[in-house]
Amino acid sequence: MQYFDTHAHIGLIHEDPIEQLIITQEARQDNVSYIMSICNNLYDFFDLYNNLSSASNVVFAIGVSPSEVQNPGPDWEQKISEGLNMDKVVALGETGLDYYRKFGDKSSQVELFISQLELADQNDVPVIIHNRNAGKDIQEILSTRMPSKGGVLHCYSEDWEYAKKILDKHDNMYFSFAGNVTYRNARNLHDTVRYLPLDRIVIESESPFMVPAAFRGKRNKPIYLPSTAEFVASLREEPEEEVYEALFENARTLFGLS
């Protein structure tokens, strides 16, 4: 049994480089064979890359989150392009739109998002998309700006109808579910997991956030990912081994690691 954590903020679990490596080692012992390391800003990315690039089960994404729209940093586009040429960097992200916390203004967020979609396309990598209260705008932007390598709507929070609209237009989009899919009242996510084609689903820890229900009260870590996989399999009512294998292989395909 192998698992692929497609979204983990390892640097937010622990700042200490040794503790970060221990987290990845613990995950590997629990069969989390890959962890996608996510940073919200470029300074954190290069720092964490230096700390974790030696970990055999960690791969990286580089990008500027909507939370950093007011200060993406000097030469941020050039730095992303440089990062995408580094070993073990296999995706651009996270990027996207967040209208819940109102980072900057909407037009600035949209501009930052579109610029990174273009960078992903130019560099032939998939994109990891953050969506919070911005589903309509993201759908409209992707209708004309989807990178050739596709991407993933991470920590999916919309309903099945929204997912179906995305699928109808894009055959290279994946949907990632975090620990919140295990919450009893997340019926929109439960239905989406049931109805999505199995080959479009991946899972993530979203560490240190969105801890699965079985571990409520704890700080989330990649070692809890199997709990999310188990819940997804129970919703699908398909053989567990078949679902686990698909979740793992889907993620490898998404990030070009097959």
Instruction: List the binding residues.
Output: 7, 9, 94, 130, 154
CA angle 221, 204, 191 (to 5 degrees): 130
Alpha helices in the chain (DSSP H): 10-13, 17-29, 42-52, 76-83, 106-122, 135-145, 160-169, 187-195, 225-236, 240-254
C-alpha to C-alpha distance for 126 and 92, rounded to whole angstroms: 6
Instruction: List the binding residues for a divalent metal cation.
Output: 7, 9, 94, 130, 154
CA dihedral 110, 114, 116, 121 (to 10 degrees): 160
Reduced 3-state DSSP string for 135-199: HHHHHHHHHHHCCCCCEEECCCCCCHHHHHHHHHHCCCEEEEECHHHHCCCCHHHHHHHHHCCHH
Cis peptide before 94 (omega within 30 of 0): yes
C-alpha to C-alpha distance for 123 and 86, rounded to whole angstroms: 12
- β-pair partners for 175: 153, 201
